[in-house]
Amino acid sequence: MLSDTPIKSIYFKDLTYNGADVTEEQEFLVVTNNYRAGGGGGHLADAEQETILASTDENRHIIIDYIMEQDGPISPEPTDNWKLSDIETNGDVIFVSPSEAESSAYETDEIDYLRETENGMDVFAYRFDKTDEEDDEEDSEHPRKGIGKNRSTLVKKKNQIMLKDQSE
The pLDDT tens digits for 21-31 are 989 888 888 78
Write down which residue in 82, 106, 128 finishes a domain. Answer: 82
Residues 98 and 64 in one domain: no
pLDDT, one tens digit per residue, over 66-89 is 899 999 888 888 887 777 676 677
Is 88 a domain residue? Answer: no
Question: For 32-36, 38-42, 82-86, 138-142, which range has the lowest pLDDT when averaged over its residues?
Answer: 138-142
Q: What is the average pLDDT score of the chain?
A: 68
Assigned domain for 87 exists: no
CA angle, 17 then 19 then 20, to 5°: 70
Are 76 and 97 in the same domain?
no
Based on the fold, state whether residues 76 and 10 are members of the same structural domain: yes
Q: Which domain holds residue 5?
A: 1-82
76 and 114 share a domain?
Answer: no
Q: Where are the alpha helices (DSSP H) in 3-120?
A: 34-37, 59-69, 102-105
| Shared domain check, 152 and 124 | yes
Residues 6+ apart with CB under 8 A from 73: none
- The candidate with the shortest Cα–Cα distance to 127, out of 147, 107, 104, 151, is 147
Q: Using DSSP, state whether 140 is helix, strand or coil.
A: coil
Chain segment 6-15, per-residue pLDDT in tens: 445 556 778 8
Adjacent-strand bridge partners of 115: 123
pTM here?
Answer: 0.41
Structural domain includes residue 15: yes
Quick one: 77 and 104 in the same domain?
A: no
Would you say residue 29 lies in a domain?
yes
Total domains in the fold of the chain = 2
Q: How many CB atoms lie within 10 A of CB 125?
A: 19
Q: Could you give the CA distance from residue 9 to residue 43 in angstroms, rounded to a whole number? A: 10
- Which residue, of 34, 52, 82, is where some domain finishes? 82
Q: Taking 80 as the threshold, does the pLDDT of residue 63 lie above it?
A: yes
Q: 99 and 66: one domain? A: no
78 and 1 within one domain: yes
Going by C-alpha positions, the residue among 83, 84, 81, 85 that lies closest to residue 19 is 81
**Quick check: is 71 in a domain?**
yes
